[in-house]
Structures are given as structure tokens and as C-alpha cells.
Amino acid sequence: MYVRKMRNKWQCLVRMKGTSISQSFHNKSDATKWGKEKEVEIENGTYVKDLKLTGMRLKDLLQLYLEKALHKSKRPKLLKYEVELLRRSPLARITLQHLSPKKIAEFRDDRLKAGKSRSTVRSYLKLLSRAITIGRKELEIPLSHNPFELVEKPKANPPRERTLEHEELKRLFKSCDACHQFHFLGAFAEILYLTLCRRGELIRLNWHDVDFINRVAVLKETKADKPRTIALSPRVIELLKALPRTVDGTFFPIKSISAFEKSFSNAVKRANIDDFHMHDLRHCGAQHLIEDENWNTIELMQQGGWTSSGMAKRYANINPKYLAKKLLK
């Protein structure tokens, strides 16, 4: 950085990493301050060459990214939800040229301190990084590089192995049935347990996707991005038939995922159960099919949509008491 006086003004010249910029000021202190800021931006890769973009905030870029990526997304509702959530964050109010690794790291640490899981924060950072990458490559946002690539992501959460005993499951389903805001919460939870569906798969399930005669259902939108056909027990058929028809044909009219999850958490508390999440019902269901229905690993993989036996076995989490009983036979 070089500051010099030219006539009645002070000019600051910054040359770094192939970038050469200058600006004139009425006093030397403003010129020096500007020069130091630009050096930091160039060093961090957040310097914006096009002056028209200097006022663009991260939230503006996220909106552009959403408009471009939404129709290509495998899970558009989830993408829209996460983008809107991140657009309301303090980090999103920062302009692109001031988006430094330090501020990104502070956002990461704040989210972790607020109780967000490491996996959730990793997901946030990956989405934000993707938005910057698409912005640079396809939207001609002139950032020299992606500052998110300089920030360490939290390590993924260790796999959960939380399951419930049969009596605990009965208490949970009864507690879910008592939910007033979502009258179908009990049926939803029990079907998750009995079918190994993921939450989103069951929410998207439509009456036309169910063959009540042959007791199978087609899950058209899955995590693997391909349809999966699952078997339905007589109890699941009974629960589905008891649900009222909705206008859009879905079984579970859920407008707010966060409110739905909160209702489930409250039901867990009413049942006097600790540390149990909705997704844990997949673990319980896999364990139930192995121990009570004598399913093998291949059958479990087909029902749960797992592509490896290792993943299916991790979800099944067989109780040692069950293995001990088998040794008596």
C-alpha cells in the first residue's frame, strides 16, 4: 500500500496478488484506512472488482442462488426453507466484499453455541459455500475466490443409536395421539416406526401412491433421488385408511415443519422419555423388524432405502438381550 499527496487530495494505491486499485481522499487518514481495508479484502479473496456490486449483501446473493437452483433441486421445499432461514441470519446482512473467513467462523461458532448440531452447521456452511461458487461461476459475481473454503467445518455428528423399548413406544404413541394441533401426530409417528420411512417421504406420500389391496406404497421422492416401493403392514393400512382425505391428496397436511417437530418434542416430554428425536423412529423400526419380524439385511435395505448392508446394520442396532435369547434356542 502506498499513500501520497496529489494536489489537494491524498491518493492510496494498493497492489497485491495481481490486483491494482487506487482511490483519492480529502485526508490522509481516510486514504490509509481505505487501503488497509482493501488489503484485507484482497488477502481474504472478498475484494469485488465491479463497483456496482460493492453493496450486494450475502442475503441478496442467496436469493439469486435460490431462484437459479430451486427448479434443479431434488428437495426444493427443504432448499427454500434453509435459504430463507440463512437469509435472516446476521451473516447474511454483510456485503460480499466484507465477507471474511473470520466473520464466517464467528457465524459457525455462534450457531454451535446456540445449540445447533454440528451436522446442521456443516449443512449451513456447505449451502452458503455453494451459493458463492454458483455466484462466481454462473452469475458473474467477481469475487477472486470463495472465503467459505478457508473456514473449517465442524466434524459430523457421531451416528445416533437411540432406541426405545416396546412400553416406551406405547407411551410415546399415546402421547402423540393427545396432540391437539396435529391430530394425526400419533398415526404419523407409528407409521414412521412401522415403515422405516423418512419424515419427508411420509409427508409427501399421496393417496394415489398407496395400493391398499397389495399393501405396498411407492415413495416417489426419496433421498436417493429414485422411487422406492415399501411394504405396508395391516396396522399401517388401518392407520392410513382412518385419516381424512385432504384437498391435495396427501395424508398429512403439515404447513410448518418446525411447529410439527416441536409438537413431537412436547409429546416425547409428556411420555417421560429423554433424548429422543423423530428420526430415531427409523432406528426403532429397523430393530423391530430384525428382532420381532425376523427380517434379514437384504429385506431391511429394501424397506429402508439403504444402499449398503453396513448402513442398514447401523440403523438396526440389535439389542444384545435379543442375541442372548437366541443363544438359548
The reported pLDDT for the residue numbered 52 is: 46
The reported pLDDT for the residue numbered 49 is: 61
As a whole-number percent, the residues of the chain with pLDDT over 90 amount to 52
Average pLDDT over every residue of 211-224: 91
Q: Which residue has the cell 470463495?
A: 146
- Judge whether residue 320 has pLDDT over 90: no
In whole angstroms, what is the distance from residue 229 CA to residue 143 CA?
A: 46
Write out the H or E segment, with its range, that includes residue 84.
helix 76-87
- Judge whether residue 7 has pLDDT over 60: yes
The reported pLDDT for the residue numbered 241 is: 95
- Would you say 282 and 315 are in contact if contact means Cβ atoms under 8 Å apart? yes
Mind giving me the DSSP string for 57-73? Answer: BHHHHHHHHHHHHGGG-
